Structure 1
Amino acid sequence: MHKFKVQLYITFFLLLLLVACNHNSRQIKYIIEQAKSCMDEYPDSALLLLQDIAFPQILRGKERADYALLYTQACDKNYMTPVNDSLIRIAVDYYGASKSMDASLSYFYLGCVNWNKGSNVEAIYAFLKSLDVFPSHSENRLFMQIHIYLGECYNWEGLYQDAKEHYFLAYQEALHRNDTLCIIRCVD
């Protein structure tokens, strides 16, 4: 009888743990979706939402990659880009093999982190990889940003012709999108 009670308690505890984990997983997915939806207009709110995730180190798979990408993106948009690439590499490792917007964003932010830590060659590689995995026929401002950052990196390295090419590509895309802010940045 005593053995049966112990087994019953263990079963109950495991069931309770399973329900709690499932609820927590849904809550984390919700927070990640909310952070994604407000990232462009309210990156400070996205950062606060992501900081509400209590133990991000226990996340796995897509949730972990999404968290790593979104947290790095939110930090960058709030002018707090880290100089350590360990977080964004989680997203690069997860999405890197696909030709998707998430893969392109992951490599783009890896480039931003490398640029901020002064590793221009690594930044150029990451930005070029971001272009390589950028989905064809995608209408996204990221395409311009990649070319602007490549122009900056090449300019910094003294490769002025390469810089000019990427500034021009960003300028053409800005004209196509009627993005006056980007046009100004390209010709500045």
Structure 2
Amino acid sequence: MKNKTLIIIVIIAATAAALSLGIYQKRTHQINASLLQIEQLMYERPDSAWKILQHMPSISQLRKEEQALHALLFTQAQYKNYIPVKSDSLLRIAEAYYRTSSDSLHKAWTLFYLAQYYRDSNEKEKALSYFQQANIASRNIENNQFKFLLNLHWAGLLTNEDAHEKGIEKYQTANKYAILLKDTLKQLNLYEKWGWCHLINGEYDLADSLFNVGLTLSATTKDRIYDKYLLNYLSLTAREKKDYKRALELVNRSLSLAKDSTELYPLWGNKGEILLEMNQYDSAHFYLSKDTRDYDPYF
């Protein structure tokens, strides 16, 4: 009788363990599937990816591998949805896991977003270090999307830190990957930033060349959303070269395309500055005073 009771207890315990294991495996599979779905959505539908992440289980309830991916995707979604990242705590979870993992791609993405975080936190040396580490981590992976973004953002930080030549090299590398991606909007974003780099360095002909290449490329897009920005940048280079007639023509073309105040403010400012340099003070005052955000009437 005792043996039968013992056997029954063992069977019940084994069944319960099997059921628990099955439930655990099913839950793990569901979480992994959700994370993979989010990762696939991230590039084309970052807003949807962000919404799904809001309904995921708490990160403390996940296994280490799931915690790392969740932490990375959560931060990635914040950046892609223009939500400020106020702490590196999640990225530290991902970094701790991927540092010793064979998963080079997720390791590279983690290091890249740490570089972004420290750049935005004004810790430039840390940011440059993490960009370099992300570059090393990505050497053996084939992901043109990642390599384009890495070099584009790295270039921006280098040029802001007065490492002009190194920044230009990164823009050139980013351009190589943008061409491979055959992504016109990425190329336009690149030419805008690359041209601006030459503009602020006083290399006006080089800036003009890149902005004009961008404008030609923009003509092949459906919405031509970059036209107004590129025309204004071309106006700025003309202004710097004191070709005020051309500068006014270009900024007026840009103004005809702009729709809301956030687009109009810098254009009004540029036109006001052009007119100021032409000694047309009343007209300059009219356009400069349109930007009410920080207008100084004494100016």
Cα displacement (A) at 1:78: 0.8
The count of residues paired between Structure 1 and Structure 2 equals: 184
Q: Do 1:96 and 1:106's aligned partners in 2 also have CA atoms closer than 8 Å?
A: no
> Could you say if the C-alpha distance between residues 140 and 171 of structure 1 is closer, same or farther in structure 2, counting changes exceeding 3 Å?
closer
> Could you say if the C-alpha distance between residues 180 and 71 of structure 1 is closer, same or farther in structure 2, counting changes exceeding 3 Å?
same
Which string of whole-angstrom CA distances, capped at 9 and with x for unpartnered residues, describes residues 41-93 of structure 1? 11111112122113221212211111111111111111114131110121122
Instruction: Output the CA distance in 2 between the equivalents of 1:14 and 1:80.
Output: 43
Q: State the match for 2:118 in structure 1.
A: 114
Instruction: Output the CA distance in 2 between the equivalents of 1:41 and 1:132.
Output: 27
> Could you say if the C-alpha distance between residues 167 and 19 of structure 1 is closer, same or farther in structure 2, counting changes exceeding 3 Å?
same
- Say which of 151, 162, 165 aligns to 2:169: 165
Cα displacement (A) at 1:32: 0.8
Q: State the match for 1:89 in structure 2.
A: 92
**2:65 equivalent to 1:67:** no
Cα displacement (A) at 1:135: 4.3
Report 1:177-188 matches (<5 A). 177-188=181-192
The secondary structure found in structure 2 opposite 1:101 is helix
Structural RMSD (CA) = 2.5
Amino acid at match of 1:107: L
Instruction: Output the CA distance in 1 between the equivalents of 2:155 and 2:98.
Output: 25
Instruction: Output the CA distance in 1 between the equivalents of 2:103 and 2:129.
Output: 16
Q: State the match for 1:143 in structure 2.
A: 147
Q: Quick check: 131-140 or 57-66, which moved more?
A: 131-140
Q: Do 2:105 and 2:141's aligned partners in 1 also have CA atoms closer than 8 Å?
A: no
Instruction: Output the CA distance in 1 between the equivalents of 2:156 and 2:137.
Output: 20
* TM-score, normalised via structure 2 length: 0.55
Q: Do 2:144 and 2:180's aligned partners in 1 also have CA atoms closer than 8 Å?
A: no
- Say which of 33, 43, 53 aligns to 2:56: 53
Cα displacement (A) at 1:128: 1.2
Q: State the match for 1:32 in structure 2.
A: 35
- Say which of 40, 45, 64 aligns to 1:42: 45
- Any unmatched runs of 5+ in structure 2? 193-299
* TM-score, normalised via structure 1 length: 0.84
- Any unmatched runs of 5+ in structure 1? none
Cα displacement (A) at 1:36: 1.4
- Say which of 159, 163, 171 aligns to 1:155: 159
Instruction: Output the CA distance in 2 between the equivalents of 1:37 and 1:140.
Output: 16
Q: Do 1:81 and 1:112's aligned partners in 2 also have CA atoms closer than 8 Å?
A: no
Amino acid at match of 2:73: L
Which string of whole-angstrom CA distances, capped at 9 and with x for unpartnered residues, describes residues 107-156 of structure 1? 11111111222222211111111110104361421101111111111112
Q: Do 1:72 and 1:81's aligned partners in 2 also have CA atoms closer than 8 Å?
A: no
Q: State the match for 1:175 in structure 2.
A: 179
The percentage of aligned residue pairs carrying the same residue is 28
